[in-house]
């Protein structure tokens, strides 16, 4: 049984049971149902002892997430774009509309054996582990650990907030050229910054902006909530956008386009980036053309 993630409970944590606390601090299992199953299987240790779901969490406890080296689930044969791969890690371009993990068969987790090579390292994982999360409708860069050491090291980088992430989105409404959003998410501190990289007129939306978004914290749906809270929701956001602005079959215009971290073995600074989907720029250009035609027609009257 290998320890793949470790967390020390900080000061100020109280009145919460292990099964409710653990999903918020571990990346290998992030759902409450999945964590409950993991605890019952003996995969979670507290201070070196196999834990129970009802254990109360206390400051200073060491919580270990272990890998029971279970065989991989049935493989979902979907070809992914592999941006980078070596013996220790991989970075893939996650398509929109597929969850990273969960109880469904159609997940990114189940596609990984079809797309990645098993590591030959002594601490190789039999099941590849995504080390952070992307929402189901969000596409883009997803970092994968292939060894126990990699998941520990990368997990610590995410916990210490030394990983930098960039997203690209199309948002509805007017924004300044750049700015910062400091707005709690589910009662927790959450900070993001933004930079406008393109503006276009739109008959339907008045103004569309393509923006780079930089989350400083990692709350669930943080960027979507922050943009909606600014009055500039992300185009196609069914949860936080305006109902009349959801585009049929266009999806959410949010993509993880940049990732900076240190390699878990070489300590080399990794700077990986991709372009946003073609539809982002294409949609904005088409809206600008419609707006120009509409205004030209008005001038003819």
Q: Which of 108, 104, 119, 131 is nearest to 27 (CA)?
A: 131
- Residue pair 21/39 in contact (Cβ under 8 Å)? The answer is no
Q: How many helices (H) and strands (E) does the chain have?
A: 6, 14
Task: Write out the two tokens for 83.
Answer: 């941006």
Helix (H) or strand (E) holding 189: none
- Residue pair 198/210 in contact (Cβ under 8 Å)? The answer is yes
Name 97's Cβ contacts closer than 8 Å, sequence gap at least 6: 136, 137, 251
Active site residues: 135
- Residue pair 228/236 in contact (Cβ under 8 Å)? The answer is no
Reported in sequence order, the residue ranges of 70-219 that DSSP labels E, i.e. its strands, are: 81-85, 89-94, 124-130, 139-147, 164-172, 178-182, 191-202, 206-215
Q: Can you tell me the distance from the alpha carbon of 179 to that of 181, in angstroms, rounded to the nearest whole number? A: 7
Q: Which of 166, 175, 127 is nearest to 147 (CA)?
A: 127
Q: What is the DSSP letter of 218?
A: -
């Amino acid at each position: 049984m290998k320890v793949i993630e470790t967390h020390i409970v900080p000061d100020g944590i109280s009145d919460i049971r292990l099964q409710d606390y653990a999903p918020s601090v571990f990346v290998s299992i992030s759902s409450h149902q999945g964590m409950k199953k993991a605890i019952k299987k003996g995969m979670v240790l507290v201070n070196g002892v196999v834990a129970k779901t009802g254990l109360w969490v206390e400051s200073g406890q060491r919580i270990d997430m272990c890998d029971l080296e279970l065989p991989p689930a049935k493989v979902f044969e979907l070809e992914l774009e592999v941006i980078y791969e070596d013996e220790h890690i991989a970075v893939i371009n996650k398509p929109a509309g597929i969850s990273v993990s969960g109880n469904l068969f159609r997940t990114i987790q189940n596609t990984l054996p079809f797309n990645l090579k098993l590591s030959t390292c002594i601490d190789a994982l039999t099941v590849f582990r995504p080390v952070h999360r992307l929402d189901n409708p969000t596409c883009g860069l997803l970092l994968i650990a292939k060894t126990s050491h990699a998941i520990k090291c990368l997990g610590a980088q995410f916990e210490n907030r030394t990983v930098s992430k960039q997203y690209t989105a199309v948002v509805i409404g007017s924004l300044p050229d750049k700015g910062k959003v400091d707005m709690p998410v589910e009662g927790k501190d959450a900070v993001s910054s933004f930079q406008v990289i393109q503006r276009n007129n739109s008959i339907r939306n008045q103004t569309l902006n393509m923006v780079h978004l930089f989350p400083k914290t990692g709350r669930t749906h943080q960027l979507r909530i922050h943009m909606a809270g600014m009055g500039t929701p992300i185009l196609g956001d069914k949860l936080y956008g305006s109902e009349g602005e959801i585009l049929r079959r266009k999806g959410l215009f949010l993509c993880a386009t940049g990732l900076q971290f240190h390699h878990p073995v070489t300590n080399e600074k990794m700077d990986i980036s991709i372009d946003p989907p073609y539809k982002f720029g294409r949609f904005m250009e088409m809206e600008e053309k419609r707006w120009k035609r509409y205004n030209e027609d008005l001038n003819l009257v």
